[in-house]
Chain A
Amino acid sequence: MLLVIISGLALGGLYGMTALVYNVMYSTSKVLSFGTGQFAMVGGICAAWVVLDLHWPVWIGLIACLLAGAVFGWLSELIAVRRIVAASDEHLWVLSTLALATMVQEAMSLVWGTDPTPFPRVFPQEFAGVLDQKFWLPLLLSIAMAIGLQVFYRHSMTGKLFIAMSEDTFAARARGVSTDWMRAQSYILAGVLGALSGFAAGQLTFADFALGTALGLSGFIALAVGGIGSSVGALVGGAILGTLTALTTYYFGAQYQKTIAIGLLILLLVVRPQGLFGTTQVRQV
């Protein structure tokens, strides 16, 4: 039972990190990217390829994974977001990010194949059980990421500018902030964090091309449950969803995972559209 809860929390850590990645991109662009889950997928596969196929050390795998995430994040902003944000049409950014996500996923399935592949151990480990690193890595990292992001937003110039942009893009631009470059930076950061989450959770999820879509959905549920813009909410939302997923899998079998998850999402959004920790009202008109 303890194992079930721990694995649920670990999964929740991954979902929470994905929700954080949504938030990072949302802050500067007001875009919820369909490709958010793909960062973790790309990062995970990249690391697995470097370590397992090229037989290089794990730390090189990590660097490669982060680099891939950074490049992918930057490209997403450049290709799918920059021109769309100017048009400020929700219809369009949903489509452009969906298109990019589809392309990346299909490209990965063609290059990497469609079978999930085991992920290398990050630290040497001889035992299995509750203390397994595959649980603790994503869990601890998610907490570290949330704290790190808070520090970043509060104390670094770039972070403060992200916040300024999220509050008023026009005002930020009027004060001479290069909003395009800021947005690009936030997407690069998002790519790096997303890839990192994929690396940390790799032993849990395996290197799987189909991870991105499912993770994009789960991360979004965590985000919606916690409330857009809230780091604490992202973690709590992720933890709730992860634990619930693990418990339903334990009691009813894996086939009802998504059914439960989406049920949770819809239920909560009907009752409380802004999420548990969200302050901004969901725009209705």
Chain B
Amino acid sequence: MIWSDCIYEYDGSYYGLLCCVFDSYTRKETPVSIVAGELPQTTLYPLHTVETEAAHARRILKSLNERSKLAAELARRAYLTCLADREVSIYRMIRKLYEEGPAFLKNPADPAVYPLHVAIRQLFGELEKLRGFIRFSLFDGVYAAEIEPKNRVLPALRGHFCNRFADQAFLIYDRTHKEGLFYAHGNWRIIPLDSFEMARPDQAEAAYRRLWKTFYDTISIKERENPRCQRTHMPLRYRTVMTEFQDEGYFLPREDAPGTLCSVPSCPVLPENGRK
């Protein structure tokens, strides 16, 4: 039987993507494009909306792991990247695995794997930078930070920050993907959050910001100044949310009494180790 071409819509979740693989096999269709949410324009290809069913996704996950742990890991990581057509690239890799077996995964130059490797390398680079560059501010017992990453980094950053700051309550807000990682008392959640604005700092927080800025400015040796080297290690796009590159207003404290909660969303109740 000949497989027909079509376009898939899915809900954007990882399980949803795995269900696309499942549906493609049950319906004997090759998706030429897989779109999260709704397709913006009309198309000549037949369109199918994939329903996310946990049971289907788990079957795919199980068979992936049986064939190759490496492929399962590759798919999971590539899903977090900002690769333009990541869904179809992941689909092609999985399809090739089912058709040919896992041998091709060992060849990093294989066309089904190479784009995934490149994207994942970029994701890892961003993760490494962000582990250092994230800046928390303390608001009424909750440490809050904002980031503007290219990739969906929160699931991958979670381990590091929940381990290091296990005794803090914190929130990292991802402006690009509009979601937040909440953590308190050993429990975490990654929750979609449409908007988030950091409040003006209280006296103590403003003082810490200024201390850090002072330290940052002092520690550089004037005779060795080298902006090109600095830019290589710390590209400009990361600096938008870093304390040491903010303008004067960022270091001024609020006038009102310190300690009142402004616009930090209250931490949701976190009853158990959750997975979104």
Chain A complexes with chain B: no
Interface residues of B (CB under 8 A from A): none
Interface residues of A (CB under 8 A from B): none
